[in-house]
Structure 1
Amino acid sequence: MAKSSNTALIILAFFAIYVIWGSTYLLNKIAVTELPAYMLASIRFVSAGLLIFGICKILGISVKISAKQLKNSFIAGFLFLTFGNGVFVWGLKFVDSGFAALEVAAMPLIVLILMRVVDGKKIQPMSIVGVILGIIGIYLLVSQKQIVQKEETLLGMIIIFFCVLGWSAGSLFVSKAKLPESYLVNTAYQMVTAGLSLFVVSLVVGEQWSWPTAWSGRVQFSMTMLIVFGSIVAFSAFNYLLKTVSPEKVATSSYVNPVIALILGWYILDEQITTQSIWAAVILLTGVYFINTKKKLVLYSRFKGKFYGKKQ
């Protein structure tokens, strides 16, 4: 029963980082059209973090952590949220939300390379196939002249690529770092520390802040959804998965998110979606299967009656 419950929780967590996070590209794009990027991210994460602390209080979960855990929470929050998300939202000013999400699909490749370089982990043949498919899909994306030639698109692409590096490094760090055992407490500290650092960045760059009452209705709705679902639900699920499954499997969310983002961006914001983008999405999703599958390539010799390679 416990194993079944754990499996169900993992499935729900993957749904959160696949589908809910896929919608946050649209929500961020809507909000950043009216709000400064770092102000937006700061309000989102501080609000979400404080709400999670409140949930912990109601549930009777202790929020006390050690100095080392606080330090690691700050580092993780910086890599994921201050840099990985705050700067990413700024990059959304220059590219479509669907295109940005598809560019993030490079993350599984970067994670695998970092695991190889930093940990010396061997890359499995099936994962290599998945990464190759991912690269093909990305190439199909960025080779579209009608998208890449838009003004300031190159700047946006470069900004988002460095954000992907931050998320990839953060994924590896969190999978090994000593952090609060409670995923809610872990998420809360990461969000509050990141939100405060984003507040400092916002002041340094001279962003003009405004009260929520001055925002349009759709921006208020987008911010609410980002705080409740994009931050509290999905990010808690993300931290849970990083401690439960391998980092490269968690990184496959960046393959599914683009499909959701493309559809929503096209349907709601009238963003351009081409036949080539559709093919890119299909190939990227196929890559998800190969990176996620637990099966290995098996060769059977009838003459020797032996298996070369095993199924897991």
Structure 2
Amino acid sequence: MTTTIATRPPVFGLSPLLIACLAATWLVWGSTYLAIKYALLSFPPFFQMGTRFIAAGALLMVWLRWRGTPMPTRAEWRNALICGTLMLGGGMGGTAVAETSVGSGVVVAFIAVLPLIIALINLCYGVKPGRMESAGIAVGVVGVLMLTQGASFQASTHGLIAVTVACVSWSIGSVLSQRTLPLAPGAMGFASEMLCGGVVLMGLAAASGETPVWPPQPEAVAAWFYLVVFGSLIAFNAYMVLLAQASAGLASSYAFVNPVIAMLLGVAIAGESVTGFEWAAVAVVLAGVVLLVGSRAKQTPGQ
């Protein structure tokens, strides 16, 4: 009897699509913190994020309309505005504001609390994480805390407030888009959310009097294009697919992997040294991710 590729069981109970989405959120988002820093050389935080998501959302929507995908309904536009305001306006906007005065290590460390916040919010919907998923969240948080030990984090008060608002806003928006405020089906929902969130961010940019540096530095322009294509069109859409088809813990597992990616980029690009303790922390983080991935096999999509 011959075993074909189609009959082989998915890895860890995950489909190829979910594996690809995990790879995008883990690897690409781990590199976007560095890209945001470079883009801030010429583009202030709200302006940077607003133009990024408007460009990505418009490109995606034009492509979908060309393929005949129907536009969102009025209710779906409303949901996109609410979720876009929370996830992109508060979440991504707050992250960019934080990175103007807070070390990237602090920002990445804060992101580790996202799975806990999302799990707490999901309790309001009667959704409790399983034992393996709870263990994965706990182990992952411990690993990230280990990863940040020994580093000298200096942050302004408003920067810490910004990253806190970013984490809470992103978590609330994630749960609402998954539970009570459905977007338009498929990629059209993601496009409408990016457009709405981008408009909100541009409003914040205008209200705060932001103006970009002109002419922009080449590094800032390259970073902005990277954020549009990889951070928005690829990774953000991958995250929304995970929210729709995977558990909340698995969808937010990037929060544990991103600090590892950020550390490796620091070694490769900035020539930073990594101690044995920090490599041990990486092992703990990855152990938490393995537990989260393993928990997916025992849950149904959307749980």
- TM-score tier, shorter chain, comes to 0.7 to 0.9
CA distance 1:156–1:180, change in 2 (3 Å): closer
Give the aligned partner of residue 103 of structure 1. Answer: 110
Aligned Cα RMSD in Å? 2.6
1:244-283 to 2 correspondence within 5 Å?
A: 244-269=245-270, 275-283=276-284
CA contact (8 A) 2:144 2:259 kept: no
- Cα separation, 2, equivalents of 1:26 and 1:112: 28
1:43-62 to 2 correspondence within 5 Å?
A: 43-62=51-70
CA contact (8 A) 1:33 1:93 kept: no
User: How far 1:155 moved relative to its partner?
Assistant: 4.7
User: How far 1:178 moved relative to its partner?
Assistant: 4.5
Give the aligned partner of residue 195 of structure 2. Answer: 192
CA distance 1:223–1:273, change in 2 (3 Å): farther
User: How far 1:158 moved relative to its partner?
Assistant: 3.9
- Cα separation, 2, equivalents of 1:22 and 1:259: 8
Q: Which runs of 5+ in 1 are unaligned?
A: 298-312
User: How far 1:4 moved relative to its partner?
Assistant: 7.8
Q: Which runs of 5+ in 2 are unaligned?
A: 1-5, 299-303
- Cα separation, 2, equivalents of 1:111 and 1:240: 16
TM-score by length of 2: 0.86
User: How far 1:20 moved relative to its partner?
Assistant: 1.2
- Cα separation, 1, equivalents of 2:172 and 2:34: 25
Give the aligned partner of residue 209 of structure 1. Answer: 212
1:74-223 to 2 correspondence within 5 Å?
A: 74-116=81-123, 118-144=124-150, 146-148=151-153, 150=154, 152=155, 155-210=158-213, 214-223=215-224
CA contact (8 A) 1:84 1:163 kept: yes
What amino acid does structure 2 have at the position aligned with 1:218?
Answer: E
- Cα separation, 1, equivalents of 2:158 and 2:273: 19
Q: Indicate the larger mover: 252-261 or 54-63.
A: 54-63
CA contact (8 A) 2:109 2:148 kept: no
Q: Secondary structure at the match of 2:212?
A: coil
- Cα separation, 1, equivalents of 2:254 and 2:111: 9
What amino acid does structure 2 have at the position aligned with 1:171?
Answer: S
Give the aligned partner of residue 50 of structure 2. Answer: 42
Q: Deviations over 1:68-111 (max 9, x none)?
A: 11111111111111110011111012233344223211111221
1:223-234 to 2 correspondence within 5 Å?
A: 223-234=224-235
CA distance 1:120–1:32, change in 2 (3 Å): same
Moved over 6 A (4+): 2-6
Q: Deviations over 1:129-187 (max 9, x none)?
A: 2222133224324543x412x3x356534422321111111221111234344322111
Give the aligned partner of residue 239 of structure 2. Answer: 238
Identical-pair percentage:
27
Give the aligned partner of residue 80 of structure 2. Answer: 73
- Cα separation, 1, equivalents of 2:122 and 2:45: 31
User: How far 1:282 moved relative to its partner?
Assistant: 2.4
User: How far 1:215 moved relative to its partner?
Assistant: 1.2
What amino acid does structure 1 have at the position aligned with 2:112?
Answer: A
TM-score by length of 1: 0.84
CA distance 1:197–1:234, change in 2 (3 Å): same
Give the aligned partner of residue 3 of structure 2. Answer: none
User: How far 1:192 moved relative to its partner?
Assistant: 0.9
- Cα separation, 2, equivalents of 1:287 and 1:295: 13
